[in-house]
Structure 1
Amino acid sequence: MTAILLRPAIGEDARFLADMLVEAANWSPSSRRPRVQVLADPALAPYISGWMRPADAGLVAESVSGDPIGACWFRLFDQSKPGHGFVAGGVPELTLGVSPLWRAQGVGRELLRGVASLARSRGYARLSLSVDRGNFAQRLYVSEGYVVVRSDDRADTMAKALA
């Protein structure tokens, strides 16, 4: 694993987190969308809009030179306006994005582990997420203890117990 530093995400990280949401949405090289289109998508905008709300939390990964290279964060959604990975009220849904040059080097795994620890320290019992089938990140999620709790025609909703 390449040496990285994890630090808490703050309000001023909103633009970088938006960049990482774009990377997460554009996981497939064959179906990339421009940044403005991803951020205007009503299904994706709630994952970053208004960052940082009181219950929002996350981590930013930085290279040894201090450049941000990835981020993982969670938000609470409610049943009236659920996210793609919504499983229940009070279960935060996470988003993970890593800059393309830093993928497959352990950055995503460290971010996932760090955010799980952060969520546990805030009293959450589970985390959830949604991942498109075919996305290589699904293997990472499974290896970190996430299990499929619901599926539709294109994606799986996964959850992890934090106990």
Structure 2
Amino acid sequence: MSGFQIRDAGPADTLALSEALVEAANWNSNRIEPRVNVLSHPVRSRYVAGWPRPGDGGLVAETPEGEVIGAAWYRLMSADRPGFGYVTAGVPELTLGVRPMWRARGVGRALLQGLLRKAAESGHARISLSVEHGNFAQRLYRSEGFTVLSSGETSDVMVRSLN
């Protein structure tokens, strides 16, 4: 881990998580969605609204100067208000976003590994996520033990055991 540090996400990190959500949504540089559209999307907004809620867990990556360069967090969703990677009650959904200039430099992997530990320590048996087809992050998720549970027209729902 060079040039950045990882810390727990707290109540003051709503903006950092929102920015990471925008980065995650805009992984494809050929298809950039405006920030306001990402954050007002009826499903995407569920990932950060009211941060932190009981049961939420998150990490923030930042430079030694305190510049936020990425974040990863999990949140429990419900069947009546699911996220894109919803599996079932009690399985949190993971979101990860890293600023483009920091991608492929170990930030995403460090955030992911730390968040998986945090989720396991919180007593979760599994964790899920949704990743669009073609997103290079899918290789990271596979390398960290995620498998495809279901595949849709544009994305896959992946899960990983935390035991």
Q: TM-score, normalised by structure 1?
A: 0.97
Amino acid at match of 1:108: G
User: By how many angstroms is 1:100 displaced?
Assistant: 1.0
- Which is further off, 138-147 or 59-68? 59-68
Q: Counterpart of 1:88?
A: 88
For the pair 1:69 / 2:69, whether they are aligned, the reply is yes
User: By how many angstroms is 1:55 displaced?
Assistant: 1.1
Amino acid at match of 2:35: R
User: By how many angstroms is 1:43 displaced?
Assistant: 2.0
Amino acid at match of 1:130: S
In 2: Cα distance, 1:77 partner to 1:40 partner: 18
User: By how many angstroms is 1:64 displaced?
Assistant: 2.2
User: By how many angstroms is 1:101 displaced?
Assistant: 1.0
Q: Counterpart of 1:150?
A: 150
What pairs up with 1:95-134 in 2 under 5 angstroms? 95-134=95-134
Q: CA RMSD in A?
A: 0.9
Q: Once the two structures are aligned, what percentage of the paired residues are identical? A: 52
Q: Counterpart of 2:53?
A: 53
User: By how many angstroms is 1:139 displaced?
Assistant: 0.4
The total of aligned residue pairs comes to: 163
In 1: Cα distance, 2:98 partner to 2:11 partner: 19
User: By how many angstroms is 1:130 displaced?
Assistant: 0.1
Contact 2:43 2:82 in 1 (8 A): no
Amino acid at match of 1:120: A
User: Aligned to 1:130, what secondary structure does the other structure show?
Assistant: strand
Gaps spanning 5+ residues in structure 1: where? none
Gaps spanning 5+ residues in structure 2: where? none
User: Aligned to 2:119, what secondary structure does the other structure show?
Assistant: helix
- Which is further off, 62-71 or 94-103? 62-71
In 1: Cα distance, 2:13 partner to 2:87 partner: 27
Contact 2:149 2:158 in 1 (8 A): yes
Q: TM-score, normalised by structure 2?
A: 0.97
User: Aligned to 2:124, what secondary structure does the other structure show?
Assistant: coil
